[in-house]
Amino acid sequence: MAMAERDPVSGKNTTGHEWDGIKELNSPLPRWWVIVFYLTVAWAVGYWIAYPSWPTLHTYAKGVLGYTSRGEVAQDIAKAKLAQAGWMAKLKTATVEQINTNPELREYAMAGGAVAFRENCAPCHQQGGAGAYGFPRLAADRWIWGGALAQIQTTITHGSRWAADPETHRMDMPRFGDDKVLNEDQISKVADYVVALYKAPDTANTLPGKAIFAEHCVACHGEKGVGNTEVGAPSLKTAVWLYSGTKEGIMAQVHSPKMGVMPAWGAKLDEAVIKELTVYVHSLGGGR
Ligand code: HEC
Ligand code: HEC
């Protein structure tokens, strides 16, 4: 039997194994390493028993805890739905003004409103309410039907000139050209006046179109063209136009007015979602 002895070069003991004069040093693994190794083995065995592990002939070993990742996802979804239902219930009972002044509710409404806007409104009003020809810019303080929370909520709920909704906004601008109320010359003059209202208010007063405007337009668009949200007549003293602010564009509108149609969302969207949209639209830049 070979004997363990001290190796004179490394100063370590040998195991006593020897092959052709080559002796094996006895350098065992560190104790801490061995302990950790056995702990991981024990952990793995425990894990096999507790959790789903290897496949069997028809199914798989389910593990004594009965855990499934699908089950976990389903639980998460159920929890999220519950949380959302709580928020939606709060939005339903609160007024838009209350939502807008409660930081927590407002944050929730803004997030939901942004999503609902992208899905339902951006096709016409564009991303962020930037607007397009015939579709009003909502990110501007120029309102056809009013920028107060309650007014925005009414517009979204009932729409504008939306035949199916009896409470929809309704006010049509007279067809001054088509119905021969004004001739081309008068239309040209009043258009000059409207252009000047915004671009050169000082000279506007001297223009012959002023009298035509006073007679035919002031009733809806107001003294000096500031507009009237009661009748949905937009301000004409503006850089933001629904259609066009050029003389040609204004003449076209006076001749044969285009009357924008906005769908009523009250029948399509949940009341709470409409409130979210109201708070979101109000925040876009022009809200009052
Ligand atoms: C099919 C196109 C279309 C869609 C979709 C649409 N709108 Fe409109 N919206 C319009 C038009 C056109 C007007 C202008 C109505 C008018 O001239 O009276 C308008 C007007 C408005 C106004 C009034 C603006 C003002 O100046 O008073 C608000 C607020 C508004 N929309 C919000 C929304 C919201 C919120 C949605 C999504 C739920 C939406 N709209 C979806 C076409 C649309
Ligand atoms: C009975 C009310 C009424 C009268 C009177 C009226 N308007 Fe209007 N006007 C409106 C309404 C409502 C709109 C909004 C149309 C829409 O929402 O599509 C409008 C829109 C306009 C626009 C388009 C603004 C834009 O942003 O593109 C112009 C320009 C305009 N009116 C000029 C006139 C002029 C000029 C007169 C007088 C000759 C006149 N209006 C008389 C109700 C009226």
- Is the shortest distance between the CB of 145 and ligand 1 below 6 Å? yes
- 51 ligand 2 Cβ < 6 A: no
Nearest ligand, measured from the Cα of 121:
1
Say which amino acid occupies 267: A
Do 126 and 164 sit in the same domain of this protein?
yes
260 touches ligand 1 (CB under 6 Å)? yes
Range of 46's domain? Answer: 1-67
Q: Which residue has the higher pLDDT, 176 or 55?
A: 176
Q: Are residues 152 and 91 in the same domain?
A: yes
Asked if residues 173 and 257 have their Cβ atoms less than 8 Å apart, the reply is yes
Mean pLDDT of the chain: 91
18 and 154: one domain? no
Mean pLDDT of 227-236: 95
Contact 25, 10 (CB under 8 A): yes
Cβ(121) – ligand 1 distance below 6 Å: yes
Model pLDDT, residue 17: 87
- CB of 14 within 6 A of ligand 1: the answer is no
**Residue 45 in domain:** yes
- Residue 47: what residue type? Y
CA 124 to ligand 1 center in whole angstroms: 8
The CATH number of residue 204's host domain is 1.10.760.10
Q: Is 178 domain-assigned? A: no
Residues 178 and 255 sit within 8 Å (Cβ to Cβ): yes
Q: Kindly give the distance from the C-alpha atom of residue 222 to the centroid of ligand 1, in angstroms, as a whole number.
A: 23
Q: Looking at the structure, tell me whether residues 59 and 89 fall in a common domain.
A: no
Q: What angle do CA 148, 115, 142 make, to 5 degrees?
A: 30
% of the chain at pLDDT higher than 70: 98
For ligand 1, the distance from its centroid to the CA atom of residue 278, given in whole angstroms, is 12
Question: What is the 17 CA–ligand 2 centroid distance (Å)?
Answer: 106
Into how many domains does the chain fold?
Answer: 3
Q: Return the ligand 1 atom nearest residue 123 CA.
A: 5
If asked whether residues 144 and 277 sit together in one domain, one would say yes
Q: Are residues 146 and 274 in the same domain?
A: yes
Res 284: pLDDT = 93
Q: What is the pTM of this model?
A: 0.78
The predicted structure's pLDDT at residue 1 = 52
Identify the pLDDT of residue 286. Answer: 67
Q: Is the CB of 242 under 6 A from ligand 2?
A: yes
- Tell me the per-residue pLDDT of 6-44, one tens digit each, with 9 for 90 and over: 888 888 888 888 889 888 888 889 999 999 999 999 999
pLDDT bracket for residue 247 (50, 70, 90): very high
Burial of 260 (0-12, 13-18, 19+ CB in 10 A): middle
Give the span between the Cα atoms of 35 and 38, in whole angstroms.
5
Query: Are both 269 and 161 inside the same structural domain?
Result: yes
The whole-number average pLDDT for the span 257-263 is 96
Say how many Å lie between the CA of residue 125 and the centre of ligand 2. Answer: 20
Q: How many CA atoms lie within 13 A of 192 on its CB side?
A: 16
Q: Could you give the CA distance from residue 142 to residue 283 in angstroms, rounded to a whole number?
A: 14
**Which residues are CB-contacts of 10 (< 8 A; sequence separation ≥ 6)?**
25
**Greater model confidence, 198 or 255:** 255
In a domain, 150, yes or no: yes
* Residue 68 banded pLDDT, cuts 50, 70, 90: confident
Is 73 part of a structural domain of the chain? Answer: no
Question: How does pLDDT run across 72-93, given as a tens digit for each residue?
Answer: 888 888 888 877 888 889 999 9
Q: Is residue 80 part of a domain?
A: no
In angstroms, how far is CA 139 from the centroid of its own chain? 14
* Ligand 1 atom 39: residue of nearest CA: 121
Same domain assignment for residues 106 and 39: no
- 276 in the same domain as 134: yes
**Residue 33 belongs to some domain of the structure:** yes
For residue 2, the model assigns a pLDDT of 60
* Residue 102 pLDDT exceeds 70: yes
Tell me what the mean pLDDT of segment 178-197 comes to: 96
Roughly how many angstroms between the first and final C-alpha of the chain, as a whole number? Answer: 100
Whether 166 and 98 share a structural domain: yes
Mutate to test the pocket of ligand 2, among 144, 172, 173 (most ligand atoms within 8 A of CB): 173
What's the gap in Å between 234 CA and the centre of ligand 2? 7
Residue 34 sits in the same domain as residue 92 = no
CB contact at 8 A, 251 and 187:
yes
Regarding the beta carbon of 156 and ligand 1, being less than 6 Å apart is answered yes
Q: How confident is the model at residue 125 (pLDDT cuts 50, 70, 90)?
A: very high
Q: Name the band, by pLDDT with cuts 50, 70 and 90, for residue 180.
A: very high
Q: Is the CB of 144 under 6 A from ligand 2?
A: yes
Ligand 2 pocket mutation, candidates 253, 255, 256, 261, criterion most atoms within 8 A of CB: 253
Q: Which of the pair, 4 or 40, is modelled with greater confidence? A: 40
Answer whether 159's CB lies under 8 Å from 262's CB: yes
Closest ligand 1 atom to Cα of 160: 18
Instruction: Read off the pLDDT of each residue in 255-269 and give the average, rounded to a whole number.
Output: 96
Whether residue 72 lies inside any domain: the answer is: no
Report residue 118's pLDDT band, with 50, 70 and 90 as the boundaries: very high
Distance, CA of 279 to CA of 276 (rounded, Å): 5
Residue 100 lies in a domain: yes
Regarding whether 266 and 165 lie in a shared domain, the answer is yes
